[in-house]
């Protein structure tokens, strides 16, 4: 944690707190609309699908699939030390999509990374309160 040298998100106390609370315990918490039952990501105060304000949080599987990816050969700050590294948009099993720095891939070899590959979430402790989600290819 003392070594964490990348930008750290600022959890906001109004909307996203359940996600960050879950992250501390290694759980992926997702918001779901109780009116239309659809998951949305990023968290909102109203459902982007049906505009209901009834949102509940639930513990998700933490599994997903690569929707698309890129390899960052150039970067700044703490990320500069890690180039090349892959970033990806992850299709969540429960629905919608999350952005991540991807683990468990050979970023020196961009074509070796497979769209559709299965990934699981993990969390890095970045500071006392903030655990940052990463996704790792597991097959």
Partner 1 sequence: MPSNPSMSAAIVAAAESDKIGYIEEGTTALNLHIEAIRNVCAEAGISPTEIEGVFATNHANMLAEYLGIHPKYIDTTSVGGCSFQMHVHHALAAINAGVIDIAVVSHGEAGFSARKNQGNGTLRGGGGDPWTPAAQFGGGPYGAWGPPSYYAHALTRHMHQWGSTKEDFANIAVVTREWAGLNPRAVMHSKETNKFGGPITVQDVLDSRMIVWPLNLLDICLVTDHGGAVLLASAEKARSFKTPPVWIAGAGENQSHADMLEMDDFTATSAHASSEAAYRMAGMGPGDMEMAMIYDSFTVTAGITAEMLGLTPRGEGPSLWADGNASPGGKFPVNTNGGGLSFSHSGMYGMMLLIEAYRQLSGTAEDGVHGIEGKQTSAQSAVVNGTGGLLSVTGTLVLTSDV
Nearest distance, CB of residue 11 and partner 1, angstroms = 7
Phi-psi region of 50 (alpha: psi -120 to 50; beta: other; left: phi over 0): alpha
| Per CB under 8 A, 69 contacts partner 1 | yes
Nearest distance, CB of residue 39 and partner 1, angstroms = 13
Binds partner 1 (CB under 8 A): choice among 35, 65, 70, 122? 70
Binds partner 1 (CB under 8 A): choice among 28, 33, 47, 71? 71
Listed in order, strand segments (DSSP E) in 26-117 are 29-33, 55-59, 63-72, 85-92, 97-103
1 alpha-carbon distance from chain centroid: 19
Bridge partners (DSSP) listed for residue 65: 91, 118
Binds partner 1 (CB under 8 A): choice among 39, 89, 93, 117? 89
| Per CB under 8 A, 119 contacts partner 1 | no
**How far is the C-alpha of 66 from the C-alpha of 137, rounded, in Å?**
9
Binds partner 1 (CB under 8 A): choice among 49, 57, 94, 110? 110
Which tokens belong to 134? 């990463």
Which residues within the stretch 14-53 sit at the binding site for partner 1 (CB under 8 A)? 14, 16, 41-44, 48
Q: What is the largest CA-CA distance in the chain?
A: 45
Binding site for partner 1 (CB under 8 A): 6-12, 14, 16, 41-44, 48, 67-77, 79, 82, 84-85, 87-89, 97-101, 110, 115, 126, 132
């Amino acid at each position: 944690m003392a070594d964490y040298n990348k930008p750290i998100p600022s959890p906001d106390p109004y909307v996203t707190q359940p996600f960050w609370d879950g992250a501390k315990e290694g759980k992926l918490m997702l918001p779901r609309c109780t009116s239309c039952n659809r998951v949305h990501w990023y968290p909102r105060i109203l459902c982007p699908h049906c505009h209901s304000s009834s949102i509940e949080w639930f513990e998700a599987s933490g599994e997903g699939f690569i929707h698309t990816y890129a390899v960052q050969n150039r970067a700044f700050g703490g990320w500069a030390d890690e180039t090349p590294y892959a970033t990806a948009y992850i299709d969540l099993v429960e629905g919608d999509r999350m952005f991540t720095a991807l683990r468990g891939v050979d970023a020196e070899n961009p074509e070796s990374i497979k769209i559709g590959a299965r990934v699981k979430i993990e969390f890095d402790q970045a500071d006392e309160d903030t655990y940052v989600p990463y996704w790792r290819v597991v097959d």
